[in-house]
Amino acid sequence: MPHRDEEITMLRRELEMLMGERQTLLQVAGATAALIASLDSKRLPVSAVESADLVATTINALSEETLQDALNAVRAEIEDQEAGVSI
């Protein structure tokens, strides 16, 4: 039984780590989506258009639920920054 308890503990830690990484990736995706949405593609340097298009295409490939989770992950931070509050 002690071996099984160790495995459960190890799996729990791994799951917690993966959930933390998912949250960070959601924040990155949400912040990136907000950035891309605010860009004026006509004003981007030509060298940046291809990268911006790749990012936009990748974000658009996310499921609607995942994209909403990503936007929700950064919404509070964006709103707080707009209000002049630093987190």
Query: Tens digit of pLDDT for each residue in 46-73?
Result: 889 899 999 999 999 999 999 999 999 9
Average confidence score pLDDT of the chain: 86
Query: Whole-model pTM?
Result: 0.73
For every residue of 28-86, DSSP letters joined together read HHHHHHHHHHH--GGGS-HHHHHHHHHHHHHHHTS-HHHHHHHHHHHHHHHHHHHTT--
What is the end-to-end Cα distance of the chain in Å, rounded? Answer: 45
- Based on the structure, what is the number of domains in the chain? 1
Residue 44 in this model has a pLDDT that exceeds 70: yes
Domain of 31, in residue numbers: 2-82
Residue 42 included in any domain = yes
Look at residue 87 and tell me if it is in a domain.
Answer: no
